[in-house]
Amino acid sequence: MGIPDIRQLITLEFEVYGHVQGLNLTKDTRDRCTKAGITGWVKNSKRGTIVGKMQGPKVEVDKMIEWLSSEGSPGCQIERCELRNQSNLNRLDYKDFAIRF
């Protein structure tokens, strides 16, 4: 098994389904990612989901995915969180975590 490399950087795209818009999920995602050292972006989609991209330490990104998959902001009714295009990174492509419109 070995010791996990806390410096391992990953990137992935996510989409959260359910009753998730209008409940501060984009803002809470940005705030939590910023605090965890994760960069990228998040936005409301026209399909009624929340979509985004995260880049950062694998350990922290995994924690965010768990939060987006099961908990989310108060009032959210999350059905599922789908992940796409996950891969390792050598350096981050973003300077911060932003809400896009």
Domain boundaries, the chain: 9-99
pTM score = 0.92
CB atoms within 10 A of CB 78: 19
Query: 38-93: per-residue pLDDT in tens?
Result: 999 999 999 999 999 999 999 999 999 999 999 999 999 999 999 999 999 999 99
Which stretches of the chain are assigned E, i.e. beta strand? 9-19, 39-44, 50-57, 77-89, 97-99
Name which CATH class applies to 9-99.
alpha beta
Q: Report the interhelical angle of 58-70 vs 25-36 (nearest 10°).
A: 160
Query: 3-17: per-residue pLDDT in tens?
Result: 556 579 999 999 999
15 SS3 class = strand
